[in-house]
Amino acid sequence: MGTYSKYLAVAFVLLLSACGAERPASCLYSGCGGGSTAPVSGIQSVSPALQSDFALLAGVVLGAEYGGGNTIVRWTHSPTMSFFNASAQQREYAIAAVTQVNYAIRYAGIQVEVISDNQMSADIKVAFGQGSQMAAMGDYFGIDYVPGNSGFFWTHNDSVGRLLDGVVLIQSDPGSDLVLRHTLLEELTQVMGPMRDQALYEDSVYYEKNGVSGVVTQLSRIDARILAFLYMYLEPGDTFSDLLQKFIAVWKTPVT
């Protein structure tokens, strides 16, 4: 194995083992969270020019930050979204993030539909509150908030991997508008299915290293392409092998 391939293989292992080790006790569904690992041997099947793209793709779409699971989960219908306790400014930032997500998956036949505020029937409920209120908000929506997160999402899926519902908690006083906008973009992207963070590309919305997230407020080219690939080519329940096969068949030009 050449030096370049060795570096990517090591990076791939680190990428897939870097996320949260704790699993909330009430995580009963395979899609509600989960750090997971995947074999790196398959990366040798990918052309060298595309290996970094594949490492990032596999690292964020297989599993999640908390809990279990190492297969693809995503929405199979256009989910509705409702905001709770949002100011006009916060709602504007959230809509801007949703617009980016919808543009990335515009050819997939699925779009996030924002409905009126405070609708408990919404597929995705996005709640805003001060940092001191995050745990209480989690209790209200019936999810296990993990302390220390300025943004936090939780999903449930069926046994196949089809997402059923989601809750996103957003700290309304994170320190700056920049952090708030980034947090919204990150959480509203991840609640769509690419649930894990990665430590390879600082311009990616999925970036986190040593507990420190990035501050990007725009999806990068690779971020948008990952979302599009997830919704156009991957199916709930797809495994690492399925991902590898479809990547080789479809992903012909490098982004990273």
Highest mean pLDDT among 33-47, 138-152, 198-212: 138-152
Which uninterrupted H or E stretch holds 155? strand 151-157
* Range in 2-16, 61-75, 238-252 the model is least confident about: 2-16
Please tell me the distance from the alpha carbon of residue 16 to that of residue 19, in angstroms, as a whole number: 7
Roughly what angle, to the nearest 10 degrees, separates helices 221-233 and 240-250? 110
Burial of 210 (0-12, 13-18, 19+ CB in 10 A): exposed
Residue extents of the structural domains in the chain: 3-71+220-250, 80-194
Q: Is the pLDDT of residue 21 over 50?
A: no
Query: What average pLDDT is seen over the chain?
Result: 84
- Amino acid, single-letter form, for residue 93: Y
Q: Is the pLDDT of residue 22 over 70?
A: no
pLDDT at position 64 is 74
Q: In the structure, what pLDDT confidence band is assigned to residue 11 with cuts at 50, 70 and 90? A: very low
Nearest CA-CA partner of 171 in 186, 189, 151, 188: 151
Taking CA atoms, 93 is separated from 173, 181, 182, 184, in Å, by 14, 6, 9, 7
* Range in 9-13, 125-129, 145-149, 250-254 the model is least confident about: 9-13
Name the CA radius of gyration of the chain, rounded. 17
How crowded is residue 44: how many other Cβ atoms within 10 Å of its Cβ?
12
Within the chain, how many helices (H) and strands (E) appear?
Answer: 7, 7
Q: Is the pLDDT of residue 147 over 90?
A: yes
Residues 189-204: tens digit of each pLDDT: 999 999 999 888 889 9
Which uninterrupted H or E stretch holds 127? strand 124-129
> DSSP letters of 189-251?
HHTTS-B--BSS-TTSTTBEETTEE----S--HHHHHHHHHHHHH--TT--HHHHHHHHHHH-
Strand order in the sheet with 124-129: 113-114, 80-84, 124-129, 163-171, 151-157
What is the CATH class of 80-194? alpha beta
> DSSP letters of 10-55?
HHHHHHHH-S-----TT--STTSB------SGGGGGS-GGGHHHHH
Q: Is the pLDDT of residue 126 over 80?
A: yes
Rounded to an integer, the average pLDDT of 87-93 is 98
Q: Report pTM.
A: 0.84
Residues 36-74: tens digit of each pLDDT: 223 345 667 788 889 999 999 999 999 877 666 799 999
